[in-house]
Structures are given as structure tokens and as C-alpha cells.
Structure 1
């Protein structure tokens, strides 16, 4: 399946680098969402939900999501979802600033993010 993965998670980058186009973001959770929004404005569609999983945006620094490779006309549903996701993430971050986690906990958050993406990619493969 063709997709672009937008991520700030090195574990995701390493795992999927040979199978997918990776847009690696050297930044935080919101930076990933902002890049996804820019890509959606260029005509890409969301393939995974930006707020998937139960880990809140102010709890984890990592986010990975998939978008279409092909550019089409602006997909309004994707734009609405990414804009709502950015608003929600900003709200959570305003309520409580993300903590500075130690490396062991950061590795756990990387694994959680990668596992969520693994599940989404498996679901996308089943429907294609």
C-alpha cells in the first residue's frame, strides 16, 4: 500500500523507512500535525486519525500518522479532522505542559506510537 508516514518517532522511521515514504519531523507532536495539515492543503488525504490511541497530546512527545501519496483536490473531511486535532492538541497542551521524560519512558512512548501505527497499517492493508 502506498502512503506517506509523517512522524517524529525515530523507531517508526527505522521500521518503515524501506516500505513507505517517511516525512521525518525534527520536532514535537504539534509539529507533526502542522506538517500533516500542510500536506492536506497540497491535496493529500488522511489515512489514519491524528488523535488515535488513548495517550493524550500533552502526555507523549511522539506522533506518527499516514497520509495518501497521491495529491487530489482538497479533501474537506481530512482538513476538518486535522484542524480539529490541532485544536484539541493545543487545548491539552495549554491545560498541562508536557513533562520532560527520562529516556526509558521516552522509549516506551516511542513503542506505543509505533504499535498504534503498526495496527493502523495492518488495517489499511486489509482494506486494500
Structure 2
């Protein structure tokens, strides 16, 4: 399994426990990197749009994937739809310039979502 994330709190929490690929990028770029992995034979284990926070509201995203050695069509459809949805939200509603406190809150929410998913998959 690989944990793709742009969330420094997730990186710090899971580094050394599972394979973490920290991406210094925005939300949509995490989705794009995930799509690259899917094309290389990986499957999504956590939905890219999990949680109740809209993709234009938070800058953080963590996605758990695993190598299955072949193209997983369901994962490809999910990531393509997630990218399309995120682009739509970004066109219509810009991400606010959040304070550091609110950004930290978003990191904690993302960490909580992925932590629960990792516990189910490990």
C-alpha cells in the first residue's frame, strides 16, 4: 500500500509505519498523481472525495492505494469523476485563504478520515 498525501500531519503520523508519498502540491494534483498510479496498476482503497468537506474548501487530501498489477477500471472511473468534480468546484467556488488555525483543522479532519480507513485496510 501507498498513502498519497499533501497533508504534513498525515505524513508525520504514518511515515515509518506504512509507505507514504508526500506530495508538495494542491488537492487536484494529489488526484492527478493518484490517477497516474492507477494507470500503473494500482487500485484505490479510499474514495478520493471521502468526507463531507467539498474539494474547494480544503487544500488537503490523502488517498490510500495498493498495487494489484493491472488496470482497475472501477478505480479509474472513480478518480476521473473525482477530478471532474473537483475541477467543477474549483471553477465555481474558489478555495478561501484560510488562517493557519483553520488549515490545521483541515489537516486533522483529513488525518482522522485516513486513519480510520488505514485501520480497516491494514
Structure 2: how far apart are the matches of 1:8 and 1:56?
16
TM-score when scaled to structure 1? 0.92
How many residue pairs get matched?
122
Q: How does 1:32-43 map to 2 (within 5 A)?
A: 32-43=30-41
Unpaired segments ≥5 residues, structure 1:
none
- Alignment match, 2:88: 91
Displacement of 1:20: 1.1
| Structure 1 SS opposite 2:44 | coil
1:73 & 1:58 partners in 2: Cα distance?
Answer: 31
**Which structure has more strand as a fraction of its residues?**
2
SS in 2 for 1:45: strand
Q: Deviations over 1:72-107 (max 9, x none)?
A: 111100000000000011111111010111100000
The equivalences for 1:1-128 within 5 A come to: 3-68=1-66, 70-125=67-122
| Structure 2: 5+ residue stretches without partners | none
The alignment's C-alpha RMSD in Å is: 0.8
CA distance in 1, matches of 2:21, 2:84: 22
Tell me if structure 2 keeps the 8 A contact 1:43–1:72: yes
Deviation at 1:58, TM superposition (A): 0.5
